[in-house]
Amino acid sequence: MGKRVAIIASSGGLETAYKVFNIALAAAAMESEVGIFFTFEGLPIIHKDGPSMLKLKPENAPMEEGFKRTNVPPIQDLIQMAKESGVRLIGCQMTVDALGWKPEDFIDGVEFAGAATFVEFAQDAQVTLSF
Amino acid sequence: MTVQELLQKADKVVDATGLSCPMPVVRAKKAIDALSSGQILVVQATDRGSLKDIPAWAKQAGHELMETHEADGTFVYVIRKR
């Protein structure tokens, strides 16, 4: 109890989205407080157009068939479950500004902040992961 | 003990068969939240990773994994809520 997991999602692609949310959901199910900082190429994961922006890398294309066969839920479902589990979704304000995006371009429930916010959250985390 | 006997012990049953990681623990957590202390949750899963994941989840959350049963590729876990 009282454990905390801090995750940085700074890479692109659907692969990253699944890696991040699988770990986040497992951690939340294990009673950990979870926060994810989406920055640089990781930012589209929480964009409203995420489903069309997130693609598997060409070399991972065969996974698409495998995902279907093993009943891997759509990434939007995992994000929704994470929100319901109280996972904090933090969008990097600097990346948002640099890309010329707006807060309303993102899914509901995302907060926007900078590196210091993540560091402050991670200072008290037992587990910090970067994807 | 047969699966049928295990299911009869349950205050709640989660059918996570056909679901991949991390869904068995996500479903288990959601279900156990609705139970009272001491009540029994039975989780059914086909994900082979659940053999390690359910014990890890139970240990971390403080619940007691009372029994693990395997039959025909389906794993059945009996968990007593903390």
A126 in contact with chain B, both atoms CB, cutoff 8 A? no
Where does residue A4 rank: exposed (0-12), middle (13-18), buried (19+ CB within 10 A)? middle
B3 belongs to the catalytic site: no
**Strand arrangement of the beta sheet that strand A33-38 belongs to:** A110-113, A88-92, A33-38, A4-9, A127-130
CB pairs A-B closer than 8 Å:
42
DSSP code for B39: -
pLDDT for B3 equals 84
Contact across the interface for A29 and B25, Cβ inside 8 Å: yes
- Select from B20, B53, B57 the Cβ nearest to the Cβ of A70: B20
pLDDT, tens digit (0-9, with 9 covering 90-100), for A105-130: 999 999 999 999 999 999 999 999 99
Which residues are registered as beta bridge partners of B11?
none
Mean pLDDT score across all residues of chain B: 95
pLDDT, tens digit (0-9, with 9 covering 90-100), for A21-59: 999 999 999 999 999 999 999 999 999 999 899 999 999
With contact defined as beta carbons under 8 Å apart, do B24 and A25 qualify?
Answer: no
Enter the ipTM. 0.89
pLDDT, tens digit (0-9, with 9 covering 90-100), for B51-79: 999 999 999 999 999 999 998 999 999 99
- Select from A23, A30, A72 the Cβ nearest to the Cβ of B60: A30
Smallest CA–CA distance, residue B68 to chain A, in Å, is: 19
CA A89 to chain centroid, in Å, comes to 7
Domains and CATH numbers, chain A: 32-125 (3.40.1260.10)
Contact across the interface for B61 and A71, Cβ inside 8 Å: no
Mean pLDDT score across all residues of chain A: 95
Smallest CA–CA distance, residue B61 to chain A, in Å, is: 5
Domains and CATH numbers, chain B: 1-10+23-44+62-82 (3.30.110.40)
Whether the link from the prior residue into A51 is cis, omega within 30° of 0, is: no
With contact defined as beta carbons under 8 Å apart, do A16 and A131 qualify?
Answer: yes
What is each CA distance from B80 to A103, B21, B32, B36, in whole angstroms? 44, 22, 9, 10
Q: What percent of chain A is predicted at pLDDT more than 70?
A: 99
